[in-house]
Amino acid sequence: MNRFFLSIFFLGILLLPAWLPAQEKYLEVTAPGNRQLQLSIAAPVALGGGAQADIANEMRDVFQFDMALAGPFAVLQSPVAETRSGIRSGEFDFAVWRAAGADMLIKSGYTVSGQSVTIECRLYDVLTQKELAAKRYNGGRRDLRRMVHTFSDDVMAAVTGIRGPFTSKIAFVTTKSGNKEISLMDYDGHNVLRLTRNGSINLYPDFSPNGRELIFTSYKKRNPDLYRRELFSGTEARVTTYRGTNISGAYAPDGNRIALSMSKDGNAEIYILHKDGKQVARLTHTDAIEVSPAWSPDGTRIAFVSDRLGKPQLFIMDADGKNVRRLTTAGSYNVNPRWSPRGDRIAYCRQVGGGFQIFSLNPDGSDDTQLTSDGSNEHPRWSPDGRFITFSSKRGGREAIYVMRADGSGQVKVSRGNASDSQPVWSPRW
Amino acid sequence: MTLTFTRREWGLGTLIPVSLLFHIAFYAFCWWLHFFPTIHLPDAPVYYVDVVSLPVASPQAGTPGPPAQSAKEATPPKPRPQASEMKLPAPRSAARPQPSAKPPVSGAKESEQAAREFEERLSRIEKANEARHEAAALAALRSRAAGGTKPVGMPGGTGKEAGSDYASYIRSRLVDAFKTTIAYQSKDPRVIVTLNIDRTGRVTRSRVERSSGDRLFEESVKRAIAKAEKEFRPPPGGGVFEYGFIFSPQGVGKQ
């Protein structure tokens, strides 16, 4: 046996030169910084029929908003005078746009036929003069914004490889009717649709993974119970009938289970229910208050809030309740965790001064980064692609819904009106 | 009485260490040869390609202008024999000793004096030659620094050797272009690209050997290559040039 191993050893020595890395003929090419692509958005043109300024303006506004928020782009604002203003290759001059400093160019046009609108959008790389994306959409007049949002998603897919979230929705709690009701809007604040009309208090909305259902807590039966609503049929069902609080429900990634906080056994603990209300498991067994469960994207772990150490802190446990470990070590009041769909970050709120700010950190607790600083900001929720976060903020006086990029940049208010809007949650892509 | 010689067999316990030592010595020798080659290439003039877009020496530096002119300016003039140069004394043939009435002491003095004079003149000639060489070199440097319309390069070059490393030249063009296009969304993007450049300076093939997984970054690399290609000079020797380049953001991630 010794001779065998010695033979293998010497064979390895003989073959060592082959195993050594061969001298590779490579040179390093490095550059500092991280540049944004200079994107020009040409004014939409009428492809057939008469020009309609309202359609062109709306298309341009939607593109401007989406691309300014997207992140990879810096939208050029200076207008470019074109002698040829077609939208297809060969119908316009790239040199004009190159001279304006554009790296990318969006060209679009529309055709109106009765109540139907057809739009054609194209994305070009100005330097290489290549067409990166070209789509044509047809729909009713009221679908115009959605069609433009769809091409914005396509632009993100062409440039970054991952579709954007611009066609998704945000559900939120609003006091527009005088009560706290749940409404639905486009991510940019348009097309607001009221979902609940029970005249009671409705809180903590959360979408199912397929986006077809919404769970929320409602006091309409004089007890905070969990309800499930099918968005397209409007059917609503009561999920929990337990006395006490049934709050902060969170759909599991598999779409069949719901984690929530219930106080039916005394104090608020984390439970897992089947979506029809049947109890599956109780995950926490302490004298402390446990709330706000948040599933990891793979469904194997749950982040939650517990005051078992005296003040609310974030903890992580396995989906069966085992292996509980502390997540946050900074700050004395940390709440509202939400796991990024990419699984690499967890957003949460920390009490800072007299208000709250939004932070994000790695699932192992490292790289804790503050994302907001203006006013008081709460309830962060991720977009389906993990690029953006929606949250509520009181920076403008009345609470409103904002969106920002995952690194905290590009914060912009999206909710409209004078009501108090809060507890936003971002839908999956529809 | 018979003598018996016991032949001692070397077992594995002895042979293995001996073999091990031999192999280690062999590989150490190969390693030493690799890092300390005994053959030293002659020193060549060094040309630096500035990464800031200054006029870059053509990789085909050395392409001659009119032959006569280049020969005049490039080649230092050979030293001309001085008229006053003393000819070396002819080798003395084996002469028969002739009886001479002169005493031998005065003959030795003359030969010493002649030798001294010879050495003095030789040293003067050598100094003059050195001065002439220096002047010629200075004149060549001045004409090179003055530039003009002629390409700067190796004196007497045929245009087939590069005065600067062509791969480094291409790298410098890529760095300049990459500074204006770099964009990424991942934490530590690195992409390895092999470029094939034909004899006209066009990129005929751009192959991604190792992807970074960050499409935004790789598109910025492609744009940098497209932008830099416009400034590429043809490779020296008129052949196809192939080389690999590793693109990465500066200061991000490990080296």
> Alpha-carbon torsion A292, A297, A300, A301, what sign?
negative
Examine residue B191 and state whether it is found in any structural domain, yes or no.
yes
What's the rounded mean pLDDT across residues A218-246?
A: 93
| CA gap A291, A269 in Å, rounded | 7
Examine residue B67 and state whether it is found in any structural domain, yes or no.
yes
- In this prediction, residue A49 carries a pLDDT of 78
- The answer to whether A8 faces chain B, any CB pair under 8 Å, is no
Q: Is A313 left (phi over 0), alpha (psi -120 to 50) or beta?
A: beta
Indicate whether A96 pLDDT > 50.
yes
What's the rounded mean pLDDT across residues A379-405?
A: 96
Pair B206, B180 in one domain = yes
Indicate whether B68 pLDDT > 50.
no
Q: Are A226 and A249 in contact (CB under 8 A)?
A: yes
| CA gap B30, B16 in Å, rounded | 21
Examine residue B218 and state whether it is found in any structural domain, yes or no.
yes
Chain B residues close to A34, C-beta within 8 Å: 182-184, 249
Pair B211, B157 in one domain = no
B158 three-class SS: coil
What's the rounded mean pLDDT across residues A371-393?
A: 97
Indicate whether B167 pLDDT > 50.
yes
**Which of B146, B131, B160 has its CA nearest to residue B73?**
B146
Q: Of A1-15, A224-238, B148-162, which range is least confident?
A: B148-162
CATH number at residue B233: 3.30.1150.10
Examine residue B17 and state whether it is found in any structural domain, yes or no.
no
User: Of B131, B148, B163, which one is at a domain's C-terminal end?
Assistant: B163
Number of domains in chain B: 2
- The answer to whether A130 faces chain B, any CB pair under 8 Å, is no
In sequence order, what are the beta bridge partners of A315?
A304, A326
Pair B70, B150 in one domain = yes
Q: What is the largest CA-CA distance in chain A?
A: 91
> Alpha-carbon torsion A305, A370, B212, A23, what sign?
negative
Among candidates B183, B215, B246 on the partner chain, residue whose Cβ is nearest the Cβ of A28: B246
Higher pLDDT, B10 or A138: A138
Examine residue B138 and state whether it is found in any structural domain, yes or no.
yes
Burial-class residue A322 by CB neighbours within 10 Å (0-12, 13-18, 19+). Answer: exposed
**B139: phi then psi, degrees, rounded to nearest 5:** -65, -40
- In this prediction, residue A319 carries a pLDDT of 95
Tokens 């409007």 correspond to: A234
- The answer to whether A74 faces chain B, any CB pair under 8 Å, is no
Q: Of A82-91, A291-300, A350-359, B139-148, which range is least confident?
A: B139-148
Chain A residues close to B20, C-beta within 8 Å: 10, 13
**Which of A366, A291, A296 has its CA nearest to residue A330?**
A366
* Interface with A, mutate which of B168, B195, B219 (most A CBs under 10 A): B219
Chain B residues close to A17, C-beta within 8 Å: 27, 30
Q: Are A44 and A122 in contact (CB under 8 A)?
A: no
Examine residue B151 and state whether it is found in any structural domain, yes or no.
yes
Distance from CA of A426 to the nearest CA of B (A): 22
- In this prediction, residue A85 carries a pLDDT of 80
| CA gap A123, A111 in Å, rounded | 19
Q: Of A176-185, A224-233, B1-10, B230-239, which range is least confident?
A: B1-10
Pair B218, B124 in one domain = no
Among candidates B174, B214, B223 on the partner chain, residue whose Cβ is nearest the Cβ of A128: B223
| CA gap A48, A390 in Å, rounded | 39
Among candidates A14, A16, A127 on the partner chain, residue whose Cβ is nearest the Cβ of B223: A127
Task: Band the pLDDT of B42: cuts 50, 70, 90.
Answer: low
Q: Are A104 and A198 in contact (CB under 8 A)?
A: no
Task: Band the pLDDT of A62: cuts 50, 70, 90.
Answer: very high
- The answer to whether A133 faces chain B, any CB pair under 8 Å, is no
Examine residue B19 and state whether it is found in any structural domain, yes or no.
no
In sequence order, what are the beta bridge partners of A226?
A217
- In this prediction, residue B174 carries a pLDDT of 96
Distance from CA of B237 to the nearest CA of A (A): 19
CB contact under 8 A, B19 and A10: yes
Buried b (16+ CB within 10 A) or exposed e, B176-190: bbbbbbbbbbbeebb
Task: Band the pLDDT of B137: cuts 50, 70, 90.
Answer: confident
**Which of A101, A117, A97 has its CA nearest to residue A109?**
A117
Pair B67, B141 in one domain = yes
What's the rounded mean pLDDT across residues A273-290?
A: 93
- In this prediction, residue B205 carries a pLDDT of 93
Interface A:B, Cβ pairs < 8 A: 99
Residue B95 CA to its chain's centroid (Å): 53
CB contact under 8 A, A26 and B220: no
Pair B141, B67 in one domain = yes
Indicate whether B71 pLDDT > 60.
no
- In this prediction, residue B248 carries a pLDDT of 95
CB contact under 8 A, A35 and B12: no
Which residues of chain B approach chain A closer than 8 Å at the C-beta? 12, 16, 19-20, 23, 27, 30, 167-168, 171, 174-175, 178-185, 192, 214-216, 219-220, 222-224, 226-227, 243-251
In sequence order, what are the beta bridge partners of A38?
A74
Pair B67, B155 in one domain = yes
| CA gap A251, A295 in Å, rounded | 8
Domain region containing B131: 60-77+109-163
- In this prediction, residue B38 carries a pLDDT of 56
- In this prediction, residue A11 carries a pLDDT of 73
- In this prediction, residue B163 carries a pLDDT of 43
Helix, strand, coil % in chain B, rounded to nearest 5? 45, 10, 50
Share of chain B above pLDDT 90, in %: 32
What's the rounded mean pLDDT across residues B6-34?
A: 84
| CA gap A227, A277 in Å, rounded | 10
- The answer to whether A143 faces chain B, any CB pair under 8 Å, is no
**Which of B212, B208, B195, B223 has its CA nearest to residue B249?**
B212
Chain A residues close to B183, C-beta within 8 Å: 34-37, 72
What's the rounded mean pLDDT across residues B96-118?
A: 66
Angle subtended at Cα A369 by Cα A365 and Cα A373, rounded to the nearest 5 degrees: 140
Average pLDDT for chain B: 72
Question: Among all residues of chain A, which has the CA nearest to that of B228?
Answer: A127
End-to-end CA distance of chain B: 77
The DSSP symbol for B36 reads: S
Neighbours of B94 (CB within 10 A): 4
How many Å is the Cα radius of gyration of chain B?
A: 33
Pair B132, B73 in one domain = yes
Indicate whether A267 pLDDT > 90.
yes
What's the rounded mean pLDDT across residues A250-277?
A: 95
Pair B145, B118 in one domain = yes
Higher pLDDT, A426 or B154: A426
Task: Band the pLDDT of B63: cuts 50, 70, 90.
Answer: very low
Task: Band the pLDDT of A141: cuts 50, 70, 90.
Answer: very high
What's the rounded mean pLDDT across residues A358-372?
A: 96
Task: Band the pLDDT of B83: cuts 50, 70, 90.
Answer: very low
CB contact under 8 A, A26 and B27: no
Q: What is the largest CA-CA distance in chain B?
A: 106
Chain A residues close to B166, C-beta within 8 Å: none
Examine residue B21 and state whether it is found in any structural domain, yes or no.
no
* Interface with A, mutate which of B182, B231, B243 (most A CBs under 10 A): B182
Indicate whether B35 pLDDT > 90.
no
Higher pLDDT, A102 or A18: A102
pLDDT tens digits, residue range A15-35? 665 555 444 579 999 999 899
Among candidates B168, B220, B243 on the partner chain, residue whose Cβ is nearest the Cβ of A25: B243
- In this prediction, residue B120 carries a pLDDT of 87
- The answer to whether A160 faces chain B, any CB pair under 8 Å, is yes
Chain A residues close to B167, C-beta within 8 Å: 25, 27
CB contact under 8 A, A28 and B182: no
Distance from CA of B64 to the nearest CA of A (A): 30
Q: Are A157 and A151 in contact (CB under 8 A)?
A: no
- In this prediction, residue B72 carries a pLDDT of 45
Distance from CA of A315 to the nearest CA of B (A): 26
A68 three-class SS: helix
List, in sequence order, the alpha helices (H) in A20-143: 53-70, 94-99
Tell me the DSSP string of B85-123.
Answer: PPPPPPPPP-PPP---SS-HHHHHHHHHHHHHHHHHHHH
Distance from CA of A162 to the nearest CA of B (A): 9
Domains and CATH numbers, chain A: 37-160 (3.40.50.10070), 169-426 (2.120.10.30)
Chain A residues close to B27, C-beta within 8 Å: 16-17
> Alpha-carbon torsion A345, A349, A351, A354, what sign?
positive
Distance from CA of B197 to the nearest CA of A (A): 15
Question: What are the residues whose beta carbons fall under 8 Å from the beta carbon of A268, sequence distance 6 or more?
Answer: A245, A247, A261, A262, A289, A290, A291
pLDDT tens digits, residue range A157-189? 999 999 999 999 999 999 999 999 999 999 999
Indicate whether B153 pLDDT > 50.
no
Tokens 């050495």 correspond to: B119
Task: Band the pLDDT of B142: cuts 50, 70, 90.
Answer: low
- The answer to whether A21 faces chain B, any CB pair under 8 Å, is no
Pair B171, B137 in one domain = no
Q: Is B33 left (phi over 0), alpha (psi -120 to 50) or beta?
A: alpha
Pair B177, B212 in one domain = yes
**A37: phi then psi, degrees, rounded to nearest 5:** -75, 130
Task: Band the pLDDT of B87: cuts 50, 70, 90.
Answer: low
Indicate whether A211 pLDDT > 70.
yes
Pair B136, B194 in one domain = no
**A406: phi then psi, degrees, rounded to nearest 5:** -65, -20
Indicate whether A54 pLDDT > 90.
yes
* Kind of pairing between the strands at A355-361 and A346-352: antiparallel
Chain A residues close to B215, C-beta within 8 Å: 159-161
Indicate whether A10 pLDDT > 80.
no
**B130: phi then psi, degrees, rounded to nearest 5:** -65, -45
- In this prediction, residue B162 carries a pLDDT of 45
- The amino acid at B60: Q
- The answer to whether A78 faces chain B, any CB pair under 8 Å, is no
- In this prediction, residue B92 carries a pLDDT of 52
Among candidates B182, B243, B245 on the partner chain, residue whose Cβ is nearest the Cβ of A33: B182
Both tokens assigned to A279 = 């109890």
What's the rounded mean pLDDT across residues A339-354?
A: 96
CB contact under 8 A, A13 and B180: no
Chain A residues close to B174, C-beta within 8 Å: 29
| CA gap A246, A201 in Å, rounded | 13
Indicate whether B14 pLDDT > 60.
yes
Chain B residues close to A72, C-beta within 8 Å: 183, 185, 216
Question: What are the residues whose beta carbons fall under 8 Å from the beta carbon of A250, sequence distance 6 or more?
Answer: A206, A258, A259, A260, A293, A294, A295
Tell me the DSSP string of B114-145.
Answer: HHHHHHHHHHHHHHHHHHHHHHHHHHHHHHHH
